[in-house]
Structure 1
Amino acid sequence: MQIRNYCETDVPTMVRIWNEVIEEGVAFPQLDFLDEESGKAFFATQTYCAVADDNGTVVGLYILHPNNIGRCGHIANASYAIDSVCRGKHIGEQLVSDCLNQAKEHGFKLMQFNAVVENNVHARHLYERLGFVMLGTIPNGFLMRDGTYQNICLYYYVL
């Protein structure tokens, strides 16, 4: 498995994986799907974007960008997406670890996650194992696909 900077030929697979997470409706806040054109623009606007490449097949990705602007612009934010057929293979751990290194290399001082869905226990355990600190929860902060609400957890990591 290689974590590498994405290239334009990766975009169709990245869009498919990203949209799969949106469709599941249990992790990403986005409601709108990407198409190849909007995906190309979306990924190009990130501070850094990487893919998990398994012998030439993209099986996951992350986006890295500022969490805020100006005086809070030193805080990074990121999102991770793994192809559903490849989950459970520790690809997320490799993506998060690489992302933390890239965030530091790009001058960020902290990583902050604003909305980790409370029942996303695999992601939460990974973040906590890697040293993220949970700040607290926001009650009913995430609208699930089924119309119910889940709490969201805020995390940070000092780079």
Structure 2
Amino acid sequence: MLIREATAQDWNAIWPFFEEIVAAGETFTFPVDLDRDEGRAWWLLSKPNRTVVAVDDTGTILGTAKMNNNHHGNGSHIASASYMVAPAHAGRGVGRALCEYTLDWAKTENYRAMQFNAVVETNTGAVRLYRSLGFEVLGTLPEGFLHPEHGYVGLHIMHRAL
């Protein structure tokens, strides 16, 4: 698997699984009816932030990550990131590879920590992955997320020092 900078042309391959994941309304605080152009603007970030894709040997996009400063000004030393793995490629280490990549990026860019602001507590696979990479739950916003199946569930704030 290769992780490389995402290009505008990659959006055609990202959009189908991006739309599926967002429309499901289970893991992101994005509007579930986000259209293609809005989604591209939210996901394909410009420098100094970055968006990358994980590709296999044939060039198929397996997943994507965006990484950015979590805050501005005097809080700009804390990074954040978001990840999407194409459902057809889940469970193959793509999410772990993308998360490790973003952590390396944040260290290289001299961020002091990485913080995730809204990890849905029922997204147990993601929570388990982040914990295995050294993240801790700092707190949980009770009923901060309306899950389509589970109703109101908590949103974890997760943190890892770099």
TM-score, with length taken from structure 2: 0.90
* Structure 2 counterpart of 1:33, one-letter code: L
Quick one: structure 1 residues 45 and 61, their matched pair in 2 at CA, closer, same or farther if it must change by over 3 Å?
same
Deviations 1:86-127 (A, max 9, x none): 111111000000010111222321100111111111111111
Aligned to 1:86: 89
State the aligned residue count: 158
Q: Which residue of 2 aligns with 1:2?
A: 2
Q: Is the 8 A contact 1:48 1:102 kept in 2?
A: no
Segments of 4+ in structure 1 off by > 3 A?
37-42
Of 102, 110, 119, the match for 1:116: 119
Q: Is the 8 A contact 1:15 1:34 kept in 2?
A: no
SS of match in other structure, 1:44: coil
**Higher mean displacement: 126-135 or 142-151:** 142-151
**Correspondence for 2:29:** 29
CA contact (8 A) 2:45 2:66 kept: no
**Residue 62 of structure 1 pairs with residue 62 of structure 2:** no
- Tell me how large the CA RMSD over aligned residues is: 1.6
Alignment identity in percent? 34
How far does residue 134 in structure 1 lie from its aligned partner after superposition? 1.4
Q: Is the 8 A contact 1:51 1:58 kept in 2?
A: yes
- The TM-score, its normalising length taken from structure 1, stands at 0.91
Give 2:46's aligned residue: 45
Which amino acid is the alignment partner of residue 54 of structure 1?
D
